Amino acid sequence: MARESQRAKRERAVEICRRMGELYPDAQSALSFSNPFELVICVMLSAQTTDAAVNRVTPELFRRWPDAQSMAGTDPDEVGEVIRTIGFWRAKAQHCVEASQIIVSDFGGEVPRTMEELTKLPGVGRKTANIVLNKAYGVVDGIAVDTHVYRLATRFGLTKAPTPLAAEQDLLKILPHELWGSVNEQWIHFGRDTCTARAPKCAGCPMADICPSAGQPDRYTKQRKTK
């Protein structure tokens, strides 16, 4: 694809989102949660781990510690025993307890409602904060860029950023605000179904005619290996 103008890139990005909306009009999170506290813990635990793996440990986790007050007073080793089947469980157990302590001491036991306050919690970065704000409070303050969104944004030619955090800023510049909230879930579904990490299904892909990486399945992998 020849070098495109910023305007053309914006129009292509909007068209990608339009098609995503048609493919996944009711895209929902695969994580199981029932309140903001459970959501922030679930998203924190999901880093470098599948949602299915998180859903297997959270029923017992929330049975024993259903809120920030109860989790704040426990030993991280006890939390670790419950979540030890997921990746990086020791660090995540520590973050669960420390984040709960801050929620209790600084926010009266309620999960905060701003990006600045959420990212003060251990284990919570912009991606997690964006998801919590969007799903728990209906606040769209950015785009949650996880590995799926980052991979797709790179393959779609919408960013050359070296990190998901930097890629978010590129997406925010080219997508209108009203589209930000739907990107994460819709693109995750597309990344799992079609534009997979190792073997993207370019043949028959509904984005193939506007994707500069169509027919070049190793483009993303090669870029990642050079970093």
Angle at 141 between CA 173 and CA 119, to 5 degrees: 115
Which tens digits make up the pLDDT trace of 54-74?
999 999 999 999 999 999 999
| Domain 36-137: CATH architecture, name and number where available | Orthogonal Bundle (1.10)
What are the 10-residue block averages of pLDDT along the chain, 227 residues in total? 84 98 94 97 95 97 98 98 97 98 98 97 96 96 96 97 97 97 97 94 95 75 48
Which tens digits make up the pLDDT trace of 177-190?
999 999 999 999 99
Put simply, whether the predicted model's pTM sits higher than 0.85 gets the answer yes
Interatomic CA distance for residues 46 and 30, integer angstroms: 11
Under CATH, which number does the domain 6-27+143-225 receive?
1.10.1670.10
> Dihedral of the CA atoms 194, 197, 202, 205 (nearest 10)?
20
Active site residue 75: no
Q: Where are the domains of the chain?
A: 6-27+143-225, 36-137
Catalytic residue among 9, 92, 141, 146: 146
Convert the chain into a string of H (helix), E (strand) and C (coil): CCCCCHHHHHHHHHHHHHHHHHHCCCCCCCCCCCCHHHHHHHHHHCCCCCHHHHHHHHHHHHHHCCCHHHHHCCCHHHHHHHHCCCCCHHHHHHHHHHHHHHHHHHHCCCCCCCHHHHCCCCCCCHHHHHHHHHHHHCCCCCCCCCHHHHHHHHHCCCCCCCCHHHHHHHHHHHCCHHHHHHHHHHHHHHHHHCCCCCCCCCCCCCCHHHCCCCCCCCHHHHHHHCC
Catalytic residue among 127, 135, 141, 170: 127
Active site residue 127: yes
What per-residue confidence (pLDDT) applies to 227? 42
